[in-house]
Structure 1
Amino acid sequence: MARKVTTRRKLVMTAIAWVLGMMIFFPILWTFLTSFKTEADAIASPPQFLFFHWTLENYHEVQSRSDYFKHFSNSVIISFGSTLIGLIIAIPSAWAMAFAPTKKTKDILMWMLSTKMMPPVGALIPIYLLFQSTGLLDSRIGLVMVLTLINLPIIVWMLYTYFKEIPGEILEAARMDGASLMKEIAYVLTPMAVPGIASTLLLNIILAWNEAFWTLNLTASKAAPLTTFIASYSSPEGLFYAKLSAASTMAIAPILILGWFSQKQLVRGLTFGAVK
């Protein structure tokens, strides 16, 4: 028998959810508001929330000083490219681990996950020297390769979890009907796991878009994405909070819009297979 949820409990949980949501959203809101302030208003004490002189000067200066659209296109190519290549590699890998497991499958999965536990700086010097010697330093191809390898364990793990929820009998029926391995993956498995694949795609685009460590250390100007664009407003002369906030707002706006329009698909995919 299901436990009855009282109106009071609903109100309390709703209030808690709103408070937590506002706490998470407030830094983004503050950054957005600061981007419309003058530098004097940005460092004013006490802080000014709404009643200040609104200006677009910071956005004009940011665009005139830095080529925003060049950094934006680099971010799009790097994040989408690394995620798509990761999916192409991970879908067959996750299929093999979910439907043709061996005694070493769990060990391989744990080994893949363990690679995410190593501090990135531990691999920076060899990767930097390798990129320098092969001409991949400050290139989109190099960053796509690095971010693909970095996020590949997460992609495989997520897809493996989704694929495990699909009945193996369906794939066996496809084999009995004469489907080859590639047709089984492309025309039977993949369409059934679309919610899970979509959520994996969206989550890894966000991770690649927000990646700062590798982009700051492996790029200079040609392949610099929006994370480098933001970091350029931290100078030895000090932090210019209004301009930094404008650059941050311009950098996070595209991914926020993407997340907003795809939130239903993301939630559906993250809960895929959770309820039988």
Structure 2
Amino acid sequence: MHQRIIALVLLFSVVACSPKLKVAQSKAQLYPISANLPADSALETFISPYRKTLDATMHDVVALSAVEIQKGRPEAPLNNLFADAMFFSGKKWGLNFDIAYTNYGGLRIALPKGEIHRYQVFELMPFENMLALVTFSGKDMQAFFDFMAQTGGEPISGASYTISGKKATDIKINGQILDANKNYTVVTSDYMANGGDGGVIFSKALKRDDTPYKLRDALFLYLDYFKNNGIQLNPLADGRIKIK
């Protein structure tokens, strides 16, 4: 027993007296990374089998397109394709909402004419954002459309409107005129629901429900529908957003 007490006392003494290290000085240095750096053979051997598996998956053809699919304002084929994919997949997953919306800035590349590969969908939507359901009052729904009008137009599905002097007019949701006395639910990304990309309007939401579904997976599910039915993509700017 005494030996244990002595051992504990000695251990405490060592810990208590151990020196505290402090940084005397530091110097920042830039280490550029480029294709000119010599390859690390050990690292290459380690990652090679993973790269082969990933490359095989990422080069899968997920759709065929009759045209190059580009984004633009107030609307464009890519805007409509992505928003329609959110609407289609959200309904397939049993989500309850009125319209689909995502931010214009989140669409990073155009999709090519011909074969569209899986990696290109990741390039289009490189973020791990999830779908979220946001409910607005009718009054704040008008403000939400005004927010989209002020940017010059954003990707939407299930609705139409006219931009007039940076205000939204002639708003229709699923073919019905916006009712100021009714609540509406928007399916969007958690990024926008958090107020990203200037989306301060989302702070006025009556309710928010997060989902387990990725925004990117909504597009994959939509593309699967076209591929499985042997249909080429040919999205159009269909007049859902007009400028007066």
User: TM-score band (shorter)?
Assistant: under 0.3
Instruction: Report the structure, 1 or 2, having the larger helix content.
Output: 1
Please report the TM-score for the alignment, with normalisation by the length of structure 1.
Answer: 0.21
Please report the TM-score for the alignment, with normalisation by the length of structure 2.
Answer: 0.23
Instruction: Report the structure, 1 or 2, having the larger strand content.
Output: 2
Relative contact order, higher structure (CA 8 A, sep 6+):
1
